[in-house]
Amino acid sequence: MPLLSCSEISLDLGGRRILEGVSLDVEQAEVVGLAGPNGAGKTSLFEVLSGRQLRHTGDVTFNGEVVTKLPMRLRAQRGLMRTYQRPIVPAGLTVAETLKAARKAYRPYPSRLRMEWAMDFVQMRAPLNTPTGSLETLERRKLMLACLLLRDPKILLLDEPASGLTGSEIDEIDLVVRRLAQEYGVAVLLIEHRLELLAMVASRVLVLDVGQVIAAGHPERVFLEPEVRAAYFDVPMTAGGAA
């Protein structure tokens, strides 16, 4: 049984169809990529899977339980957690205060050891007394990830964790994602455009376009599909399928 699955998800917002019949499965400890051009509906799908958006049709199942009607907080309690495209950290707090607030929000209260493990796992370099507002993008992302790791996630939905990062910073995120899956058995659904990153971490990639899954498969192959190239680059397809 897959850890997370959704079937035939459709979502209308502002009188427009945003998602149309989207189905996917993620197995335990699997890293699955979610790609697709801007506005394809990737973040909207995360809203649905995480429980932030409940006004859709179709079902979401997590760890053997239908969670379609369950709000985000209760899904997170069960181990289904997400990050946001923009790494917004609480203003006016230091790194230590942010972690403390995150610890206090959870029951059972995560141990101090767990907090130190999470910080070490993401290789947070900024000192604990750094105001979160002055953190660079990578450190913000690491801090948000550390806050989630306190809660023992079974799956993380990561919304473009590598965007705005330099090459060596992307390598760090890549390593964190791989270690999550390989060493701790945490599944990851990863929104990402870069083939080279997806090829490093993901066993499969789904490509969305205009709210629908248009391709699925191995990262190296999926980006060669004419329909995917057409969606990304608006390249007209020939009758023979070559773009």
- Residue 129 binds ligand ATP, judged by CB under 6 A: no
For ligand ATP, the binding residue among 3, 9, 18, 146 (CB under 6 A) is 18
- Residue 56 binds ligand ATP, judged by CB under 6 A: no
Q: Give helix then strand counts, H and E, for the chain.
A: 9, 10
* Contact window for Mg ion (CB under 5 A) among 10-18, 43-51, 217-225, 226-234: 43-51
175 vs 214 by CB, closer to ligand ATP = 214
- Closest contact distance (angstroms) between CB of 159 and ligand ATP is 7
Phi, psi of 108 (to 5 degrees): -70, 150
Cβ atoms within 10 Å, residue 23: 14
Identify residue 130 by its one-letter amino acid code. Answer: T
What distance lies between CA 129 and its chain's CA centroid? 28
79 vs 161 by CB, closer to Mg ion = 161
Residue 137 binds which one of ligand ATP, Mg ion, none, with CB within 5 to 8 A depending on kind?
none
Find the Cα–Cα–Cα–Cα dihedral 74, 174, 142, 207, rounded to 10°. -50
85 vs 203 by CB, closer to Mg ion = 85
- Closest contact distance (angstroms) between CB of 86 and Mg ion is 10
Beta strands in the chain (DSSP E): 4-13, 16-26, 31-35, 56-62, 65-66, 80-82, 155-159, 187-191, 204-209, 212-217
- Residue 55 binds ligand ATP, judged by CB under 6 A: no
Q: Contacts with ligand ATP: how many residues (CB under 6 A)? A: 12
- Residue 43 binds Mg ion, judged by CB under 5 A: yes
Question: 81-100 mask for Mg ion (x: CB under 5 A)?
Answer: ----x---------------
Residue 66 binds which one of Mg ion, ligand ATP, none, with CB within 5 to 8 A depending on kind?
none
- Closest contact distance (angstroms) between CB of 160 and Mg ion is 7
* 166 CB-near residues (< 8 Å, 6+ apart): none
For ligand ATP, the binding residue among 3, 6, 24, 40 (CB under 6 A) is 40
The DSSP bridge partners found for residue 32 are 189, 204
- Residue 14 binds ligand ATP, judged by CB under 6 A: yes
Residue of 190, 200, 235 lying closest to 220 (CA atoms):
200
Residue of 46, 124, 54, 113 lying closest to 89 (CA atoms):
124
3-state secondary structure of 216: strand
Site for ligand ATP, rule CB under 6 A: 13-14, 18, 36, 38-44, 85
Site for Mg ion, rule CB under 5 A: 42-43, 85
